[in-house]
């Protein structure tokens, strides 16, 4: 995926997101390939999917057996699944398809 480089002297910056999550501190984030969804791994063990088209939370995932902080999130190539690593060394694959 090619991404344009932002010229800091032009002042044409992307919009600022003024929303916040009530799921604790975000430990990691990852955009899907289209840049429309943002997966955020949180300190409370949840993974929240933010939808930029609706400007809201699309899905929330939480492993009931683990409360360890999420340390890494990664989208699959087709954007339907999310692989999540937690501080307790567990890996979970969630279906993130809308």
pLDDT at 21: 66
Give the chain's largest Cα–Cα span.
49
Question: pLDDT tier at 98 (50, 70, 90 boundaries)?
Answer: low
List, as one string, the DSSP characters of 44-92: TSEEEEEETTTTEEEEEEE-TT--PPEEEEEE-TTSSEEEEEETTS-EE
Q: Any idea where the domains of the chain sit in the sequence?
A: 26-95
Fold of 26-95: Thrombin, subunit H (2.40.10)
User: 47-95, pLDDT tens digit by residue?
Assistant: 999 998 888 889 999 888 878 999 999 999 998 999 999 999 999 999 8
pTM higher than 0.95 for the full model?
no
């Amino acid at each position: 995926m090619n991404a344009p480089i932002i010229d800091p002297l032009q002042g044409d910056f992307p919009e600022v997101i003024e929303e916040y999550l009530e799921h604790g501190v975000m430990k990691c984030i990852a955009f899907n390939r289209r840049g429309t969804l943002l997966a955020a791994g949180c300190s409370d063990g949840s993974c929240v999917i933010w939808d930029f088209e609706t400007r809201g939370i699309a899905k929330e995932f939480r492993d009931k057996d683990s409360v360890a902080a999420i340390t890494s999130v990664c989208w699959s190539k087709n954007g339907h699944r999310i692989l999540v690593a937690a501080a307790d060394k567990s890996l979970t694959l969630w279906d993130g398809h809308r």
